[in-house]
Amino acid sequence: MTIAAIRNLTVAFNRKPACRDIDLDLPAGRITVLVGRSGSGKTTLLRAVNRLNECLENSRTTGSVHLDLPSGPLDAYSPATDVENLRRRVGMVFQTPAVLPVSILRNFLLPLELTLSITGPEAKSRAETALRDVGLLDEVADRLDHDATTLSGGQQQRLCLARALALDPEILLLDEPTASVDHRSAEIIENLLRSLTPRLTLAVVSHSLRQARKLADRLLLMRDGRLVGAWDRETGDEAGLDALLDEAF
């Protein structure tokens, strides 16, 4: 089943294309990993799914992104689409942790109140469940009122992932989610991402050969803003995966 159908997508900055004529289906409940050299358009493609490229200056997107989400269909680029609602349903975790300069708990309470109007005990329960899911609750249970910026880099990245999960997204986009963390934190995050399927659809940009091999149900290779290769775990063999990874790394 396809959860996102991307057609004829081109994204340009200052009239210079970063992604060109992308046609892509994201399969529901699986992990799609995007690989390729720096500047190949991976992050731009990821950000196009929930219109985050619009937050950057002089960007222009053409083409379409149609989402067949469990909560209902959504045309991402329709003028009638509520962009904030889109970005809640299609969440994103960035390469560099972006914690809010408030307490650990407030990092959850603020987004939950602003986006879902959830407050009080329900909001705190959601926060604790998400922290437990990312293996962080035991580490911070006695300091939820402490400044989130005092956490280590790996803890901050897991906090950002937990915060995204607390908002109950239907697709989760991750741009090099372990690039800024140590090996132990990377293992925790990767194991968590693997456990999220099939209930959640993931699209991940990775520059790690080991990680791509571990996570990918589907692997896509980008070069010069175009999709130039694909491998699927259900239909492909290890030789095909190795060949594609050799081109990417």
Residue 179 pLDDT: 87
Distances (CA, A) of 46 to 18, 21, 42, 116: 12, 14, 6, 24
* Neighbouring residues of 105: CB distance < 8 A, sequence distance ≥ 6: 124, 127, 144, 145
Q: Is the peptide bond before 97 cis (omega within 30 degrees of 0)?
A: no
Q: Are 248 and 37 in contact (CB under 8 A)?
A: yes
pLDDT surpasses 90 at 121: yes
Bigger pLDDT: 120 vs 248: 120
Rounded Cα–Cα distance for residues 249 and 242 (Å): 10
pLDDT surpasses 90 at 184: no
- Per-residue pLDDT of 34-86, as tens digits, reads 999 999 999 999 999 999 999 999 999 999 999 999 999 999 999 999 999 99
Superfamily of structural domain 2-98+170-248:
P-loop containing nucleotide triphosphate hydrolases (3.40.50.300)
Residue 193 pLDDT: 94
Which secondary-structure segment (H or E) carries 194?
helix 183-196
Q: Are 104 and 146 in contact (CB under 8 A)?
A: yes
Q: Copy the structure tokens of residue 152.
A: 């280590």
